């Protein structure tokens, strides 16, 4: 487990960065691979497990399937010391050009995972079979990802199989040696593509035992292969079909979790959250001890604050802004934070380092706090799943003293023993103290206390904590052109997204691109006359856009009437659910939100309204939408509010959500009919 961190405006952005980095690495080596004629690799005998796959019957699939898994096998061999030797074998038939990436294999190794060997074979659609050997493996540092490490013992080994094209069969085998902190493993039965056959073999030394937990799958009986060896198998496994805005597919896939029990172990093979918390507590022991310099720094940055909340805010701002994110993760450093005094001295660290420093500094003003381990992908960790080390981030639970009360502190839960606990993420450069990013809300974290670990639910904040309010005053002239001023106020994740887009933007022409994108989605022609932005770096204040625009030909005339769309800016509708397939999985939102628009359009003198769009009132348990158009004193006013109340909408409510989006789309197209003066 490498506990890492990043600011996450969207999962797609992070994945895109990673894929782009790997693409650059592979592109740099493709020339060398291309120079190796497959004729020089031909004639290699296929291993027995691949030999018969050329004639293998494909599992059920449809015309959109990119590839299928023909064969998958994992063999786990444990020695008496708990060291694990893992051998993975997998073969794919590529069906479409989009599946050609299955010809690439990536293996990450670190202080707990030692590389032994890697091989690949290909049965090309045309030509002779061939093998790709260890000498063709490319080793690289993991780089060019959001908040990537400057220095780490994590290395990626990449292997590319030439002729990975539709019709070809590619197979891989690799072996690694693992020294895990906890002896447990899992077998992922399902994938995002169909699986013809998959196997898992466990080999244990004398005196060891195992315990199984099945998730999202009925129990499969094991077969005793030999003394101290067991095997599980499955065939014709249907895929997890990826849907937009679905939960993480690995959390939905069928899998077997195996807990390994050494001789004399007291846990009975069931790893608990309490044990993981106790282990992490031992790793962090002494790391928050103060130093003279730390005490002096706390006194200096809190000197101008008379109350406790002011001091907490000053310390939080310091750690959030003045301590750069740099992850140096050598060996145990992937899990163990550096000492707070070291982090302060160097003014950099990763998420767990920043949390350690913040906790130590808060202790100097009499405020206690606790580590909270989380996974930034909601749904990965939960009370319905076995205890694992599947965490990639650390935040802080601040125990609020009785004298600290403020309506801005909303990311709070009442804990039975710790009292009011405020969750805060000092790695997120754009989150104010008191708030919590949407992807962490309604998530679960492992709260580390002196008694061990406890899985706790992180709060779901109100929609008002993540909001965009857009107000505008426009005037329509006799030619149909629209002129006006717009003010946008963003708070919560909406503000963080704007700030993250502007933080490294220097040129004014680039700074207004978010405004240009909004206008381009709403207006056929427009000109930005002026634009300004407020509170880019002030996280505790709303982010604001102020801009003035001209939009020619906004109104159009037909049949003696003038048509004007009251909804000038902004699009809240979505085609997310406009598919032929029945929705299978929940629809995930970043978090609750509230968007409000109020637009006033002053009409030319003498114009009267002939017909206005009907009000819209749509209310559901998970969301609501209200809009209305009014005319008074020569001004046409349009107002609306969309409120997303939940972080997740069950698939059973997909039809209602689709209907809501259709209602919004219809409302956004509505026009008011105006009569010009005679």
What would the pLDDT profile of 175-228 be if each residue is shown by its tens digit? 999 887 677 788 999 999 999 999 999 999 999 999 898 999 999 999 999 999
Give span(s): CATH 2.60.120.1130, the chain.
464-675
- How far apart, in whole angstroms, are the C-alpha atoms of residue 216 and residue 141? 35
- How far apart, in whole angstroms, are the C-alpha atoms of residue 149 and residue 143? 7
- Give yes or no for a contact between 91 and 170, defined as CB atoms under 8 angstroms apart: yes
Tell me the fold of 11-261. Immunoglobulin-like (2.60.40)
- Give yes or no for a contact between 322 and 347, defined as CB atoms under 8 angstroms apart: yes
* Helix pair 308-322, 351-364: axis angle to 10 deg: 150
Closest among 598, 603, 585 to 650, alpha carbons compared: 585
**pLDDT given for residue 147 in this prediction:** 46
- Give yes or no for a contact between 597 and 488, defined as CB atoms under 8 angstroms apart: no
Closest among 146, 185, 216 to 389, alpha carbons compared: 185
- Give yes or no for a contact between 189 and 252, defined as CB atoms under 8 angstroms apart: no
Closest among 109, 152, 181 to 329, alpha carbons compared: 152
| 467 Cβ contact partners less than 8 Å away, ≥ 6 residues apart | 489, 490, 491, 492, 494, 593, 594, 595, 596
Architecture of domain 464-675: Sandwich (2.60)
**pLDDT given for residue 82 in this prediction:** 86
- How far apart, in whole angstroms, are the C-alpha atoms of residue 70 and residue 196? 5
Give the Å distances, CA to CA, from 517 to 96, 288, 350, 469, 521: 34, 46, 34, 17, 6
Phi and psi dihedrals of 579, rounded to 5? -130, 160
Give span(s): CATH 2.60.40.3140, the chain.
11-261
Q: Which CATH class is domain 273-459?
A: alpha beta
Give span(s): CATH 3.10.620.30, the chain.
273-459
**pLDDT given for residue 35 in this prediction:** 38
CA dihedral angle for residue 330, residue 331, residue 333, residue 334, rounded to 10 degrees: 100
3-class SS of residue 540: coil
- Phi/psi class of residue 142: alpha, beta or left (left: φ > 0; alpha: ψ in -120 to 50)? beta
**pLDDT given for residue 8 in this prediction:** 32
- How far apart, in whole angstroms, are the C-alpha atoms of residue 555 and residue 672? 10
- How far apart, in whole angstroms, are the C-alpha atoms of residue 292 and residue 360? 12
**pLDDT given for residue 373 in this prediction:** 97
Length of the chain: 678
Tokens of 412: 């709070």
**pLDDT given for residue 1 in this prediction:** 36
**pLDDT given for residue 368 in this prediction:** 97
Phi and psi dihedrals of 356, rounded to 5? -60, -45
Report residues of the chain scoring pLDDT below 50: 1-43, 144-149, 267-269
Tokens of 601: 């359009």
Tokens of 308: 């406790």
**pLDDT given for residue 134 in this prediction:** 77
**pLDDT given for residue 44 in this prediction:** 63
| 372 Cβ contact partners less than 8 Å away, ≥ 6 residues apart | 394, 395, 396, 397, 423, 445, 446, 447, 448, 456
% helix / strand / coil in the chain, to the nearest 5? Answer: 25, 35, 40
**pLDDT given for residue 511 in this prediction:** 85
**pLDDT given for residue 61 in this prediction:** 96
**pLDDT given for residue 144 in this prediction:** 46
User: What is the model's pTM?
Assistant: 0.86
């Amino acid at each position: 487990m490498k506990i890492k961190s990043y600011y996450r405006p969207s999962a797609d952005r992070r994945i895109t960065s990673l894929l782009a980095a790997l693409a650059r690495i592979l592109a740099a080596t493709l020339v060398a691979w291309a120079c190796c004629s497959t004729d020089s690799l031909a004639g290699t005998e296929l291993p027995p497990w691949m030999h018969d796959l050329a004639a293998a019957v494909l599992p059920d699939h449809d015309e959109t399937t990119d590839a299928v898994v023909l064969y998958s096998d994992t063999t786990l061999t444990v020695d008496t010391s708990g060291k694990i030797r893992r051998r993975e074998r997998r073969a794919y038939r590529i069906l479409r050009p989009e599946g050609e990436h299955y010809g690439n294999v990536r293996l990450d190794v670190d202080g707990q995972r030692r590389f032994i060997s890697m091989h690949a074979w290909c049965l090309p659609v045309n030509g002779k079979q061939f093998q790709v050997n260890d000498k063709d493996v490319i080793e690289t540092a993991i780089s060019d990802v959001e908040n990537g490490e400057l220095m780490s013992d994590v290395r990626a080994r990449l292997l590319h199989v030439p002729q990975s094209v539709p019709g070809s069969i590619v197979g891989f085998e690799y072996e690694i040696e693992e020294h895990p902190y906890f002896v447990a493993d899992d077998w992922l039965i399902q994938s995002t593509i169909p699986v013809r056959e998959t196997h898992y073999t466990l080999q244990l030394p004398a005196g060891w035992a195992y315990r199984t937990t099945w998730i999202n799958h009925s129990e499969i009986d094991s077969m005793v292969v030999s003394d101290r060896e067991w095997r599980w198998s499955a065939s014709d496994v249907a895929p997890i079909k990826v849907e937009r805005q679905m939960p993480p597919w690995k959390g939905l896939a069928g899998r077997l979790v195996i807990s390994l029990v050494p001789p004399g172990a007291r846990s009975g093979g069931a790893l608990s959250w309490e044990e993981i918390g106790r282990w992490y507590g031992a790793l962090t022991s002494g790391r928050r001890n103060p130093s003279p310099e730390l005490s002096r720094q706390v006194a200096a940055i809190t000197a101008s604050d008379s109350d406790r909340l002011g001091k907490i805010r000053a310390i939080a701002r310091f750690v959030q802004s003045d301590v750069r994110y740099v992850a140096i993760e050598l060996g145990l450093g992937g899990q163990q934070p550096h000492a707070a005094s070291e982090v302060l001295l160097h003014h950099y660290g990763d998420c767990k380092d920043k949390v350690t420093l913040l906790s130590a500094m808060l202790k100097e003003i009499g405020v206690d706090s606790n580590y909270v381990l989380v996974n930034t992908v909601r749904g990965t960790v939960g009370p319905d799943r076995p205890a694992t080390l599947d965490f990639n981030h650390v935040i802080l639970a601040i125990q609020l003293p009785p004298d600290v009360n403020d309506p801005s502190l909303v990311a709070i839960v009442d804990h039975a023993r710790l009292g009011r606990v405020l969750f805060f993420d000092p790695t997120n450069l754009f989150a104010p103290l008191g708030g919590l990013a949407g992807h962490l809300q309604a998530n679960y974290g492992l709260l580390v206390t002196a008694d061990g670990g406890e899985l706790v639910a992180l709060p779901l904040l109100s929609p008002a904590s993540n909001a965009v309010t857009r107000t505008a005053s426009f005037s329509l002239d006799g030619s149909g052109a629209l002129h006006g001023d717009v003010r946008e106020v963003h708070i919560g994740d909406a503000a963080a997204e704007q700030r993250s887009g502007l933080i490294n933007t220097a040129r004014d022409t680039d700074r207004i691109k978010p405004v240009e994108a909004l206008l381009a989605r709403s207006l056929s022609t427009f000109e930005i006359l002026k634009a300004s932005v407020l509170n880019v770096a002030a996280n505790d204040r709303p982010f604001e856009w102020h801009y003035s625009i001209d939009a020619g030909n906004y109104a159009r005339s037909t049949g003696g009437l003038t048509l004007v769309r009251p909804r000038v800016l902004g699009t809240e509708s979505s085609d997310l659910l406009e598919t032929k397939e029945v929705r299978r999985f929940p629809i995930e939102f970043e978090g609750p939100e509230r968007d409000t628009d109020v637009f006033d359009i002053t009409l030319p003198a003498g114009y009267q309204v002939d017909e206005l769009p009907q009000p819209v009132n749509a209310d559901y348990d998970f969301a609501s939408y209200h809009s209305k158009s009014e005319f008074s004193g020569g001004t046409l006013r349009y107002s609306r509010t969309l409120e997303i109340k939940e972080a997740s909408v069950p698939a059973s409510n997909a039809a209602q959500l689709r209907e809501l989006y259709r209602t919004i789309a219809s409302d956004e197209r509505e026009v008011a009919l105006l009569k010009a003066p005679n």
